[in-house]
A and B are shown apart, each in its own frame.
Chain A
Amino acid sequence: QKEVEQNSGPLSVPEGAIASLNCTYSDRVSQSFFWYRQYSGKSPELIMSIYSNGDKEDGRFTAQLNKASQYVSLLIRDSQPSDSATYLCAAPQGGNEKLTFGTGTRLTIIP
């Protein structure tokens, strides 16, 4: 099992709809989780961090963390074409505080 796993996609969502991105992780003791957005040809950009069970909202973005089920998700409301990118999930794994990144989910918002 990969330490941090994401569906590679591509995930296509109509403009204005909710995009839902999921990530599972293997290390139960992980305490911090991060979502990055990476546009083609650019470096990853941090968009959300979450440390506690439940939801964390920031504008159109909501991160959801369920430590019992070991998954973290990112919801993007009112999706815009500018949200089209690859989204990377990251968490410390294996008792090491060094972050492990998932391979990313490619999201396409269809106008």
Chain B
Amino acid sequence: GAGVSQSPSNKVTEKGKDVELRCDPISGHTALYWYRQSLGQGLEFLIYFQGNSAPDKSGLPSDRFSAERTGGSVSTLTIQRTQQEDSAVYLCASSLRDGYEQYFGPGTRLTVT
């Protein structure tokens, strides 16, 4: 079946602009996660959604970052007033439910100039 998809695959934006990154999880997966990975670094947890529960936003680095998940499926990560330090690969993952295997999308490479 189809895996996790993300769009766009690459995004170049100017400092100060807002960006939206999209994630389409595997059908039927109730848990969805966003991570950030800077060059040569490990995975940095940002936010996760589990069913209809309130999202765990504990990893969001600042209030410029927000995410929503509509209809329990597609999720959008929004970064407002982008900064150069936001440049990274943003990865989305989904799992059947929390604590189970996570499957990653291909990522969105964000470059802020």
* Interface residues in B31-79 (C-beta closer than 8 Å to A): 33, 41-43, 45, 48, 56
In Å, the complex CA distance between A42 and B98 comes to 23
- Judged by DSSP, the binding face of A is strand
A55 at the interface (CB under 8 A from B): no
Known contacts A98-B45, A101-B42: does B102 contact A43 (CB below 8 Å)?
no
CB distance from A35 to the nearest CB of B (A): 11
* Interface residues in A9-47 (C-beta closer than 8 Å to B): 31-32, 34, 36, 42-46
Residues of A within 8 A of B89 (CB): 43
Residues of A within 8 A of B48 (CB): 98
Query: Which residues of B approach A to under 8 Å, CB–CB?
Result: 33, 41-43, 45, 48, 56, 89, 91, 98-107
Chain A: interface size category: 20 to 34
Query: What residue of chain A has the Cβ atom nearest to residue B56's Cβ?
Result: A98
A99 at the interface (CB under 8 A from B): yes
Please report the number of residue pairs spanning A and B whose Cβ atoms sit closer than 8 angstroms.
43
Residues of B within 8 A of A92 (CB): 99
The 8 Å CB contact of B43, one of A31, A34, A42, A44, is A44
Residues of B within 8 A of A99 (CB): 99, 102
Residue with the greatest number of chain B CB neighbours at <10 A, chosen from A31, A90, A98, A104: A98
* Inter-chain contact B98/A98, CB cutoff 8 Å: yes
Residues of B within 8 A of A102 (CB): 42
Knowing that A43-B106, A46-B101, A101-B42 touch, tell me 9 more A-B residue pairs with CB under 8 angstroms: A34-B101, A44-B43, A44-B91, A44-B104, A45-B104, A98-B33, A98-B45, A98-B98, A101-B43
